[in-house]
Chain A
């Protein structure tokens, strides 16, 4: 019987890419390597929790952006222009949205926040959708427009839920859940290396697994800025390999 060469502990970004069916070539290689060399891919409790949380947060953020930002702005803009609210949408409504998004971009730049502005992604999606409808000559009211957008999110989140359950909840894909009792000292040690929040728990789970099972464990992530950039320090201090999925197998061999 061939003994296992070790196992992978996967980061949230790997699972998210999988449940969104992104077909990331790096992850495809990881899956192929894992299957060929019989390497188990595990998901820790903290990764499972974070994945679920991120899907929920994103769903709610998108919903609120449509309901509380786009719709309200469109209605206010029409009130200002004295256009009846139930009238079909026109190019002027697109310009009203342009004004809204421009205002947001300016505010974000002025605030000096270095984070990417999520609204620019929404802007591209919403404006492309609306101009496509106008090009088709479809008469669409603000309410109908909002319902259409929300419907498309719900349709997508329904399919994300299927992938999530298949892969994580019911463990039917290439990953298995593994609960590891976390040692607060290990979490603290990871945190001291500049890896914070849940990431420290994800890595600490891999560390504990390696210590408790004597199974060589690699923590696999696509997160360069927070984790991979510190992989040397993490290896030296905690003895765990943190690697990109493309190279994960080669850290076990």
Chain B
């Protein structure tokens, strides 16, 4: 959404023996287009160059392993790939930017429950406290809100751009959109990187070999170097807090969601337990 520049193509077309001027507005990339592969490799390089790696792994191989997995997932995901390719194509009809954001948002909303399930299953195969996995759920919730805010902004600016009479005004609106959403996109990118770094750090120190990287049998916190883990965790916590603070600046209602009535029973037990003195929660269970 940021690496784009609007261009206008003026063509003369002949219809019913008459000449018409057809003006098409398109987007072109401002830089040499980056492939998905370049992007994930760069992300993994950044991650593995900033954490300690166990002696039984090689950093370059880890970068390759994680990047190839992401690339394969992307290649297999024909629906998502098509949405990205559609956006890259020069010819534009309708509201392509909004359509893309909506596609990503609908996709994410429908997958959210499975992300929750993944964290729950990981918790049950680990000795990390549940509050650790809660941090990833907060990231997912934050990302969901980010997409909601992004959809809102892109809808507004793309609508204004389409209503523009002149191409100059059209370009101005698109630039305004980019200026409005770029801080948010940069921040969520940074947060995603810290989140992935934390997950990767826990995984690589709990995998015995490359084959186990996909799903280590058990996540044992004693396998981690405490100081390094704290450093990575704190960096993630801080970025997540900054991201949520920024989102709140974009939309005051971001953190005000209605309680889910299905949560009632869980809320009740949580409420009962939190009211007890801390010493009660230390009773041997």
Contact = CB atoms under 8 A, between A and B. Distances in A.
Given A20-B274, A108-B283, A63 B123 contact: yes
Interface residues of A, number: 59
28 contacts: A13-B275, A20-B274, A54-B274, A62-B270, A65-B285, A67-B123, A69-B285, A104-B285, A108-B283, A115-B279, A116-B276, A118-B273, A118-B281, A121-B269, A146-B124, A147-B120, A150-B124, A151-B120, A152-B265, A154-B120, A155-B137, A156-B267, A157-B131, A161-B138, A161-B141, A162-B255, A170-B248, A172-B248
Interface in A138-168: 143, 146-148, 150-163, 165-166
B30 interface: no
Nearest to A19: B274
B281 A58 contact: yes
A253 to B, nearest CB: 30
A147 B138 CA distance: 18
Contact of A158 (B141, B265, B274): B141
Interface of B: 113, 116-117, 119-121, 123-124, 129-131, 133-134, 137-138, 140-141, 241, 244-245, 248, 252, 255-257, 259-260, 263, 265-281, 283, 285
A184 B93 CA distance: 69
Interface stretch (A39-47, A88-96, A124-132): A124-132
A116 B280 contact: yes
A20 B264 CA distance: 11
Contacts, number: 160
A34 interface: no
Interface string A218-232: 000000000000000
Nearest to A124: B269
A217 B245 CA distance: 30
Interface in A154-198: 154-163, 165-166, 169-170, 172
A147 B124 contact: yes
B8 to A, nearest CB: 43
A71 interface: yes
Contacts of B281: 57-58, 61, 118
Contacts of B241: 165, 169
A121 B273 contact: yes
Contact of B255 (A56, A152, A163): A163
A210 interface: no
Contact of B263 (A115, A119, A150, A155): A155
Contacts of B137: 154-155, 157-158
A237 interface: no
Contacts of A125: 265-266, 268-269
Contacts of B113: 151
A16 B141 contact: no
Contacts of A60: 129-131
Contacts of A20: 267, 270-271, 274
Nearest to B121: A147
Contacts of A213: none
Contacts of A165: 241, 244, 248, 255
Given A163-B255, A165-B248, A172-B248, 6 more contacts: A20-B267, A20-B274, A117-B283, A121-B269, A122-B269, A147-B117
Contacts of A170: 244-245, 248, 255
A121 B130 contact: no
A151 B116 contact: yes
B278 A154 contact: no
Contact of A150 (B130, B248, B268): B130
B126 to A, nearest CB: 9
Contacts of A63: 123, 129-131
Given A56-B131, A150-B123, A159 B263 contact: yes
A68 B285 contact: yes
Given A13-B275, A125-B269, A143-B124, A159 B260 contact: yes
A64 interface: yes
Contacts of B121: 147
Contacts of A148: 120
Given A13-B275, A65-B285, A162 B265 contact: no
A160 to B, nearest CB: 8
The 7 closest A-B pairs by CB, nearest first: A63-B130, A150-B120, A121-B272, A166-B255, A125-B269, A162-B255, A60-B129
A113 B276 CA distance: 14
A64 B268 contact: no
Given A71-B124, A147-B124, A156-B270, A161 B134 contact: yes
A142 to B, nearest CB: 10
A58 B252 contact: no
A59 interface: yes
A22 B270 contact: no
Nearest to A148: B120
Given A22-B271, A128-B265, A172 B252 contact: yes
